[in-house]
Structure 1
Amino acid sequence: MSLENFNEVKKILGEPSLEREGVAIYQMDCLEAMKRIPSDLINLTITSPPYNIGKEYEELAELDAYLDWCENWIKEIHRITTSNGTFWLNVGYLEVENEGLAVPIPYLLWNRTPFYMLQEVVWNYAAGVACKKRFSPRNEKLLWYVKDRKNYTFNLDDVRDPNVKYPNQKKNGKLKCNPLGKNPSDVWQIAKVTSGKNRASVERTPHPAQFPMELVERMLKSSSDKEDLILDPFMGSGSTAECALRNGRYVIGFELKSEYIGYAKQRIDQYLEDTDLSSRQESLAI
C-alpha cells in the first residue's frame, strides 16, 4: 500500500528534483506541496524545521508569524497522516523578547496542533557552545505526536538499548531484563554531527544543521514498519531520506535550497554505490 501511496504522491507532484528507487525529493515549499497531497497517505513524518534564530537557511519572522506558520504546516501533516501514523518534531530554542533568552520552542508549539502529544523526548548531545553567564546548552527537544492515542505504531524491540549493566540478572528464576535490551528511556544521548578539521563527524555534509543518522534511525524504526511511507518536509541534507532508504522505507521530502538537495544526492548516491560494491564483493566470495 505504501508503494501505491508513494507513486500517487509522485503522480500528483510531478518529477522530483532528486529521485532514486524509493526516494523522491522536491524543490518545493512544503506547505504548498502538502496541500496537494490527499489525506491519509503518510505513515510517519520526521522533521526539524528552521528555528527562527537567523540561520543561513531561514528568514527571520515575528514570533507570532513564525508560530502561525508552524501551526499551518503541522495541520497539513496531520491531514495527510494515516490513522495510526506518527509525527516526530525536533526543535531547539529561541529568544522571546523581554520574556526569555533560550525559550524551548516546544513550550510555544506543543498544543498548537491537532495531533495528540504522546511524549517529550530530550536529545542530549556532548558538543555545543560554551557559555560564561549561563549553563552551556547540551539538549534539544523531540515532540512525539500521534494521530490516534490508542492506535499508533511503536516498535520498542527494534530500538532497545543492548547496553544493560546486568543483562543476566534474574528474579524468581526469570530474567529481569528483556534479552534484546532495555527501553532507551525518554533521554537520548546521541552525539551531534560535528564539524571542524580534526573533529568532523564521518557523516558530515556542508549543511549547517544536520540531523544525526542515529537520531533519525531511532525515531524511524520505533514509529514505522518496513515499506511504510516517510515524509520530511524540511529535508535539509537528506538524513531522513538516507535513513529511510537504509531501512526499507519509502520517503518523500521537500527542500527549498538546491544546494541542500545536492548534499542529499551525494550521500544517497554514495550509500547506493557502497551497497552495490558490498553486494558484488559478497557474490564473489561465495
Structure 2
Amino acid sequence: MNLHTFKSCLRNPVYEDQDILIYQGDSLLLMNKLPAECLPLTVTSPPYNIGKEYESILSLEDYIQWTAKWINQVYHCTSSDGAFWLNLGYLSIPKTAKAIPIPYLIWDKVPFYLIQEIVWNYGAGVAGKLFFSPRNEKFLWYVKDPQKYVFNLDDIRDPNVKYPNQKKNGKLKCNVNGKNPTDVWQIPKVTSGQNRSSQERTPHPAQFPIELITRVILASSHPGDIIFDPFFGSGSTAVAAIKTGRKVIGIEINPDYVNIAVERVKRIRYEQENQVKQGIIGKLQQFPLL
C-alpha cells in the first residue's frame, strides 16, 4: 500500500507530504479504519497510566483492556512479515508493587510472537534513596511470523570493536562492518534543564532520542517502507523515518503535540531543501555555465 491508499482510509491529515501523514485523533478509532496486513512496522510508546500530563488515569483493569484492544488492532494491521516494537515502562500497584514492568501485566494479551526484550540503558534519571536509581526502559520486539521477519543486522552494527584486527586461522574474527550491538543499548535520553538540555529537546515531557528510534527502524524495515506510530507524541518516529528513507504515518490525540511534531517535520524538510540548494550551487560553482 502507498500513502495515498492510507489517506483514502483515514481521510484528511493535519499534515502531509510525499512521505508523511500526520493525524490528530484517537488512535484506536482511526486504526479500526485500516485494512488487514497493511503495515510492515509499528514502533510506539503508549501512555503508561502514571499521571503524565498527556494521559487520563484509568483503573488498572481498564488500562490493561485498552492496551489489549489497540495492540490487537496493530496485529490485525501488521503484514505477514511485519514487526511491532513496543516501549512500555513501569507503574505502581497499591500494596503490591512500587514499580512493576507493564509488560508483566499484558504478557498473555499480546497476539504477536516475542523475539526479544531490548534494554535501553540511558545515563540520566531520577536519583533513588530507598531504591536503586532507575536507568533503563524496555523495548519488546514482536513479529507476526517467527519464520519470516526483517532483521537488518548489517545496518545497525556497532563499529566500536575492541580488537578489530584479531584473527583466527588467518581470518578476521569479527565482521569488518562492526559487531552486533547486543540486547542492551546505551543511548542517552533526551534531557531537559537550563544547562543540560539536549539539542533535540521539545516541550514534550517524554521524548524519544532520534538515535534510539533510528536503530529500530533500520533493523526492522527496508527503505521506502511505511512506519506507523499510533502514539506519535513529538514526532521522533517521523524524524528518524525521514532520515532513513522511510515513509511514516503518525496518530496523536493531543493537538499541542501534533503541532510540535509538524514543526519538527517542517524543519527537517527545510533543512533538506537547503542541502539540495547548496548542492546545486556547489555544482554550478564547480562547473559554471559558459
TM range (shorter): over 0.9
Q: Aligned partners of 1:111, 1:144: CA distance in 2, in Å?
A: 15
After TM superposition, list the pairs within 5 Å mapping 1:79-228 onto structure 2. 79-228=76-225
| Cα offsets for 1:238-285 (capped at 9, x unmatched) | 000111111111111110111101111111111111111112112222
SS in 2 for 1:285: helix
Give the corresponding residue for 2:72.
75
Amino acid at match of 2:248: V
| Cα offsets for 1:72-96 (capped at 9, x unmatched) | 0000000000000000000111002
Q: Work out which of the two has the higher radius of gyration on C-alpha atoms and give 1 or 2.
A: 2
Give the corresponding residue for 2:36.
39
Is the 1:110–1:143 contact (alpha carbons within 8 Å) kept by the matching residues of 2?
no
Q: Aligned partners of 2:146, 2:115: CA distance in 1, in Å?
A: 7
Q: Does 1:270 align with 2:267?
A: yes
Q: Aligned partners of 2:62, 2:175: CA distance in 1, in Å?
A: 47
Q: Aligned partners of 2:275, 2:195: CA distance in 1, in Å?
A: 28
Give aligned-pair identity as a percent. 54
Q: Aligned partners of 1:161, 1:193: CA distance in 2, in Å?
A: 21
Q: Aligned partners of 1:168, 1:270: CA distance in 2, in Å?
A: 42
Aligned residues: 283
Q: Aligned partners of 1:168, 1:68: CA distance in 2, in Å?
A: 53
Q: Aligned partners of 1:85, 1:167: CA distance in 2, in Å?
A: 34
Q: Aligned partners of 2:55, 2:178: CA distance in 1, in Å?
A: 40
Amino acid at match of 2:126: V
Q: Aligned partners of 2:252, 2:203: CA distance in 1, in Å?
A: 15
RMSD: 0.9
Q: Aligned partners of 1:20, 1:124: CA distance in 2, in Å?
A: 34
SS in 2 for 1:279: helix
Q: Aligned partners of 1:80, 1:211: CA distance in 2, in Å?
A: 24
Give the corresponding residue for 2:288.
none
SS in 1 for 2:194: coil
Q: Aligned partners of 1:137, 1:172: CA distance in 2, in Å?
A: 44
Give the corresponding residue for 1:10.
7
**TM-score using structure 2 length:** 0.96
| Cα offsets for 1:150-198 (capped at 9, x unmatched) | 1001100000000101111110111111011000000000110001111
Higher relative contact order (CA 8 A, sep 6+): 1
SS in 2 for 1:114: coil
5+ residue gaps, structure 1, are none
SS in 2 for 1:121: strand
